[in-house]
């Protein structure tokens, strides 16, 4: 008979749960300039990204605007499920139909006063704009020069024929703009339906989007493993489905996910998990796992560690899960580090610990594209930000989704605000550059090489200036 471990022995053998503040990357010999480092990766088995970043499925973070921009910048957005399944599917469908270049809603309408249209174009520094009808059809083009000095006449009188470009041929639109004949062109879907306007600036500052095999933007969607109907609907549009469970290492959740994985064709990412044993059990129960979402209670607005006493910080959890998949013949299953990532440095540490990509919430929450309204508090601007286990988020979910299982009656998240950060495009560009620099410091030219070469070091607690001097007295 095997004796059980005593309680004091349990405390004495407590594991060290490493967080991002506990370790640093030890610099190594760099093989190349950081600008040449390859940060492309896989979000899931078949979904490839150009930058290792996804946006979290939170109702204050990822809806249409965020999902489109994430893909335009080379990452992927995971649309939250705190909405009716039809609305979530409609957003995913729109993302797949969006042009793979940045667009704006710059246009003039037929009945608009010509003097007002002229003033608007001048304020934007544009020589022209598409003319769009009330039902979203492209009618032509209007030049600012033709409107100069006019008053009281509709813009339609000044329309000129123009060429609109199909959403499937955006490269032709960019080349047309580069020729210098126009500042703007309209992008249309089949049937001449207006999608957006591309400006000359877009042709100069081209993005590198993450695309599917048909040249469309990538998008993922969150699902409950118990909501098979939602999963089937989203499977028509999403490149990946991501189970949205706080603690996936649960027999009922894994059993339901096993059924769901057989019913959908999109990549199937499961989580959240936080331990070696959870990864092994998930691989054993769920026959098709295309990715792991890893980390429990590490998010900035998550209170699980206080409410339930449980904690598996993303850095430690990623390392544990990476060991599990490598040792159980599933080394090709990508790992997404989720929770507590506050900087590009934290992202580099997560990648070095075995993650293929990172999932961000707070760092993206204050941007223009985040799905929350801009508010002002005093002289500063903010956007609301809340955990998906907060009371407000749970109440909304219960109201819109009859498949939501009220298995927990206590909130495990809080609500707050994130400082306004401008466009997520600049935030992502800075993060990607920081990640490239981090790989360079570690001596790696790509993420897989980072797994092999990265070394971690632990530092003594940081001290403020003057503290070292005083300690020596």
Positions marked active-site: 302, 402
d(CA 354, CA 18): 14
| Torsion 77-82-83-86 (CA) sign | positive
452-472 burial by CB neighbour count: b if 16+ within 10 A, else e? ebbebeeeeeeeeeeeeeeee
Helix axes 64-72, 85-97, angle to 10 degrees: 30
Q: Of the candidates 227, 217, 405, 245, which has an alpha carbon nearest to the alpha carbon of residue 338?
A: 245
Alpha carbon 416 to chain centroid, angstroms: 20
The pairing of beta strand 24-25 with beta strand 456-457: antiparallel
Long-range interactions of 14-18: CB distance < 8 A, separation 24+: 15/316, 16/316, 17/311, 17/312, 17/313, 17/316, 18/313, 18/315, 18/316, 18/319
Tokens of 376: 């002002």
DSSP-assigned states of every residue in 5-58: PPHHHHHHT------TTT-EEPP---SS-GGG-B--EESSSS-EESSSEEE---
DSSP-assigned states of every residue in 365-378: HTBTTSSS--EEET
Residue 190 φ/ψ region, left for φ over 0, alpha for ψ in the -120 to 50 degree band, beta for the rest: beta
Residue 322 φ/ψ region, left for φ over 0, alpha for ψ in the -120 to 50 degree band, beta for the rest: alpha
């Amino acid at each position: 008979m095997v004796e059980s471990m005593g309680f004091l022995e349990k405390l004495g053998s407590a594991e060290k749960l490493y967080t991002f503040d506990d370790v640093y990357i030890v610099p190594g010999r760099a093989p190349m300039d950081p600008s040449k480092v390859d940060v492309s990766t896989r979000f899931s088995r078949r979904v490839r990204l150009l930058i290792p970043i996804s946006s979290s499925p939170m109702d204050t973070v990822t809806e249409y605007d965020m999902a489109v921009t994430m893909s335009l910048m080379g990452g992927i957005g995971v649309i939250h499920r705190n909405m009716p399944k039809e609305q979530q599917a409609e957003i995913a469908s729109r993302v797949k139909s969006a042009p793979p270049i940045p667009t704006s809603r710059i246009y003039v309408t037929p009945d608009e006063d010509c003097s007002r249209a002229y003033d608007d174009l001048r304020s934007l520094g544009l020589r022209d704009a598409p003319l769009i009808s009330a039902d979203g059809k492209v009618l032509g083009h209007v030049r600012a020069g033709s409107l100069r000095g006019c008053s009281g006449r509709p813009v339609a009188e000044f329309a000129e024929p123009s060429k609109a470009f199909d959403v499937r041929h955006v490269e032709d639109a960019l080349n047309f703009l580069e020729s210098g004949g126009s500042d703007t062109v309209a992008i249309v879907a089949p049937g001449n339906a207006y999608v957006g306007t591309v400006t000359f600036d877009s042709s100069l500052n081209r993005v590198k989007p993450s695309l599917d095999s048909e040249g469309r933007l990538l998008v993922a969607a969150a699902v409950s493993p118990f909501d098979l109907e939602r999963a089937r609907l989203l499977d028509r549009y999403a490149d990946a489905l991501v189970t949205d469970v706080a603690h996936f290492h649960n027999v009922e959740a894994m059993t339901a996910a096993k059924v769901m994985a057989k019913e959908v064709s999109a990549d199937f990412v499961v989580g959240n998990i936080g331990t070696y044993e959870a990864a092994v059990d998930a691989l054993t129960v769920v026959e098709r796992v295309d990715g792991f979402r890893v980390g429990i209670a590490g998010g900035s607005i998550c209170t699980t560690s206080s409410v339930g006493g449980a904690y598996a910080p993303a850095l430690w959890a990623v390392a544990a899960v990476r060991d599990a998949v490598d040792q159980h013949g599933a080394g090709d299953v990508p790992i997404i580090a989720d929770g507590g990532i506050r900087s590009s440095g934290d992202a580099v540490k997560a990648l070095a610990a075995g993650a293929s990509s990172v999932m961000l919430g707070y760092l993206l929450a204050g941007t223009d594209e985040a799905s929350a309204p801009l508010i002002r508090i005093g002289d500063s601007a903010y956007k609301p930000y809340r955990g998906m286990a907060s009371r407000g988020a749970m109440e909304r979910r219960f109201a819109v989704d009859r498949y939501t299982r009220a298995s927990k009656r206590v909130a495990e998240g809080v609500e707050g605000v994130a400082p306004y950060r401008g466009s997520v495009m600049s935030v992502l560009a800075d993060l990607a550059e920081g990640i490239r620099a981090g790989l360079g410091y570690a001596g790696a030219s790509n993420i897989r090489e980072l797994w092999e070469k990265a070394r971690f070091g632990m530092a003594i607690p940081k001290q403020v200036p003057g503290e070292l001097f005083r300690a020596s007295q």
